[in-house]
Structure 1
Amino acid sequence: MQVAVLFGGASQEHDVSVVSAQQLMDAADVRKISITPVYTDFENRFFSSPTLRDIRQFKPKPANAGEVFFRWSANGPVMQEMTSGRQKPIDCILPVFHGPFGEDGRLQGHFELLGIPVTGFAAGSSAMAMRKDATKALVKLAGVNVLDHVTANRASLADSATLVREVTDRIGFPAIVKPANLGSSIGVGLAKTPDELAALVAYVLAQDNLALIEPQVQHLVEYNIAMRWSAGEVHLSAIERPKSSAELLDFREKYLSSGGAVKGAFLPSEGMLSLTRDINPQLPDDLQSRIHDYARKAFVTLGHRGTPRIDFMANARTGELWFNEINAIPGSYGFFLWEAAPQPLLFPELINHLVTEALGDTVKRFDDPVPQGAYLLPR
């Protein structure tokens, strides 16, 4: 199978995407999959070259890669070089993006228009998963517990007093402020006072067009779990419990700490594994059952495709559990969660699942889609 792995992009998580993609390409089963690396630059243009397999070429943009585009040819989907016109057959697109312009449905929609199979959530589901407030509304209807929240846009900055009153009445302080459309804890802050709230909302809205404000969970413990759809049912990964000494698990702690090394001495091959965590921690039966139940309900509601990861928040003392967000393309595709799952799945097997799923339910139509009764133009 000829698989184009796309990564990079005009996202705050560009660098993380490059690292995750290298991990995935290293893990692909070469007996079944032939990988073509495709880098997406800050202008969302596509480039390809064998040199993209060398992480040392990224500073942060790689050199010596030619621009390419994708289209449907007489022989099926191809990747075509802009300058030479040379074509390479492509069976499937495997995106390894985090954040806007890759994880949010825009890229998925591009390839759906072309008719080229693309792994993971469809465009509509990807867009919904990226919008945290909309996602919460949907899973709440499915019976999943969520925190109350307030949203703020740039118009809210002109009347911060009204926003402060709404947050005070509905949520109280301290409150968490975060972008509604970004991931990896980028831009997340803790507002302990009304003055801090206004400043944090302004900071978030400089990065996103919508801010999400939620109550701070006391005695916070996080639990993450990934899901996939196979043989007509939901399969669940291991549960992870991230460890953190900070009030917030922020972006730098997630990606820039490397075990016992000096802070910021980033080892790209480690990726998300640089974060200390408990895999399959001992949990009360009731809590584990609720995590599994909420995960199944949310996954089916949001798209039951790909291998997304859902993040939950819990109060360690009361046992309360809330859905936090869903990551349509989790860092490193959460392969370590699947390797420790009740039904273990190695990283190469996980990649094969993604590609096989995409190829199995993507069909390009060539016939006239207009029913005869709707003809307004001559045929």
Structure 2
Amino acid sequence: MTRRRVVLLFGGRSSEHSISCATAGGILAALDPEKYEVVPVGITRAGACVLASGDPDDWRLDPEALPEVLDNGTRVLWPESAATREMKVVSDGKAASLGDVDVVFPILHGPFGEDGTIQGLLELIDLPYVGSGVLASALGMDKDFAKVMFRAAGIPVAPSHTVTASEWADAPLAAQAAAESLGYPLFVKPARAGSSMGVSKVHVAAELAAALRRAFAEDQKVLLEAAIVGREVELGVLGARPGESPRASVAGEIVITGREFYDFEGKYLDAPGIDLVCPAPLADEELRVMQDLAVRAFTAIGAAGLARVDFFLTPDGFVLNEINTMPGFTPISMFPKCWQASGLSYEALLDALIELALGL
């Protein structure tokens, strides 16, 4: 059997660099070497594409030393045009071929990767890739514009108000008034960041300015969002094969017992106070409604390939929190866990995503 050559693209310029590296480690360990020849391409924090290590252990998520793509002096060259799929690497001033590429798996999180930028590059040179296209990636990354799309599709979302850095500098009283109208506690979130980077839970007005400063360090556009009281549940969506519809997994639940919210440390550094339960204890009708809403959200932004869709389950029903078009993908992340609970193994899930990217 001819192996497919897969470029695993990870790292990147965003604050989620290390999470992307850890995700890459999980995928490197799981891709079947009899089916795939993996070309590991890391993007440094400065944006250089280097030929990286293919050893999964080099990308293990260690709280004491988070993984990072370092500049090893190599430079990976993308195909010169859409007329070729040959990639090259330059090392010590000499170029060598990496062969023709079948598909790119851009396991990048956050800006400069998950937001349509890398997708645009790959579209320009006509390389197939896993995941959503330029527009859906940009919409999914931007919580502000995603809410516009979800509201238009009739999907319930949390009340919110958007503030830019310049608006906060010029008219802070307007932002303070918006926060008062939403009510405390509320969340302050960068509009275009993930992994809970820059997110704060604000209990009183006196905490608002510090929370905004933290969020503006990640993005120049920030959401003030009403805190929704409810169970935190999420599931995975897989894109449609030709002639089919997107499908949703069973749900998982995030049970928070000792933290303010599901923050970075709880997500990735095994901090106490967070339990992930999968499958979540939901009634059959609750799960059906949640799956329907998730597929509608996926369709509303024109997503492809995969997404994780997060909800709050309140006494009045589901409220969509956000959609993530390139979710965390370590073997213990919620997206693969939900699919494993639905009968699709981690390895089979990777196969399915690559096949979707290739239109198979």
Same fold, TM-score > 0.5, yes or no: yes
Report the CA distance shift for 1:304/1:157 in structure 2 as closer, same or farther (over 3 A). closer
Deviation (angstroms), 1:52? 5.4
Which stretch shows the higher mean deviation, 46-55 or 5-14? 46-55
* Runs of 4+ with deviation above 6 angstroms: none
Aligned equivalents of 1:165, 1:176: Cα separation in 2: 15
Determine whether 1:76 maps to 2:84.
yes
Query: Once the two structures are superposed, what CA deviation does each residue of 1:40-91 show, in whole Å capped at 9, x if it has no partner?
Result: 1011111114455441698633464621111146983122112322112211
User: Structure 1-normalised TM-score?
Assistant: 0.84
SS of 2:183's equivalent in the other structure is coil
Aligned equivalents of 1:337, 1:41: Cα separation in 2: 31
Amino acid aligned to 2:321: N
SS of 1:151's equivalent in the other structure is strand
Query: Once the two structures are superposed, what CA deviation does each residue of 1:102-150 show, in whole Å capped at 9, x if it has no partner?
Result: 1111011011111111110001110110000111110121121111110
Q: 2:188·2:223 contact (CA, 8 Å) conserved in 1?
A: yes
Q: Who is 2:41 aligned against?
A: 38
Determine whether 1:332 maps to 2:340.
no
Query: Once the two structures are superposed, what CA deviation does each residue of 1:163-194 show, in whole Å capped at 9, x if it has no partner?
Result: 1112222x111111111100111111112222
Which stretch shows the higher mean deviation, 198-207 or 33-42? 198-207
Q: Who is 2:295 aligned against?
A: 296
Query: Once the two structures are superposed, what CA deviation does each residue of 1:275-299 show, in whole Å capped at 9, x if it has no partner?
Result: 6311122213442222112111111
Percentage of pairs with the same residue: 29
* Aligned residue runs from structure 1 range 38-77, under 5 A: 38-50=41-53, 53-55=56-58, 60-62=68-70, 64=72, 66-72=74-80, 76-77=84-85
Determine whether 1:312 maps to 2:308.
no
* Aligned residue runs from structure 1 range 336-347, under 5 A: 336-341=337-342, 344-347=343-346
Amino acid aligned to 2:216: L
Match of 1:85 among 92, 95, 98: 95
SS of 1:85's equivalent in the other structure is strand
* Aligned residue runs from structure 1 range 1-379, under 5 A: 1-50=4-53, 53-55=56-58, 60-62=68-70, 64=72, 66-72=74-80, 76-82=84-90, 83-88=93-98, 89-158=100-169, 159-169=171-181, 171-218=182-229, 220-228=230-238, 229-230=240-241, 231-245=243-257, 246-257=259-270, 276-315=275-314, 318-332=315-329, 334-341=335-342, 344-360=343-359
Segments of 5+ residues of structure 2 without an aligned counterpart are 61-65
Deviation (angstroms), 1:98? 1.1
Segments of 5+ residues of structure 1 without an aligned counterpart are 264-273, 362-379
SS of 2:122's equivalent in the other structure is helix
Deviation (angstroms), 1:247? 1.9
SS of 1:276's equivalent in the other structure is strand
**Greater Rg over alpha carbons, structure:** 1
Q: Who is 1:376 aligned against?
A: none
Report the CA distance shift for 1:50/1:203 in structure 2 as closer, same or farther (over 3 A). closer
Amino acid aligned to 2:33: V
SS of 1:207's equivalent in the other structure is coil
Query: Once the two structures are superposed, what CA deviation does each residue of 1:233-252 show, in whole Å capped at 9, x if it has no partner?
Result: 12111200012221211111
The two structures, once aligned, show a CA RMSD in angstroms of 2.2
Which stretch shows the higher mean deviation, 294-303 or 62-71? 62-71
Aligned equivalents of 1:90, 1:348: Cα separation in 2: 20
User: Structure 2-normalised TM-score?
Assistant: 0.88
Amino acid aligned to 1:221: R
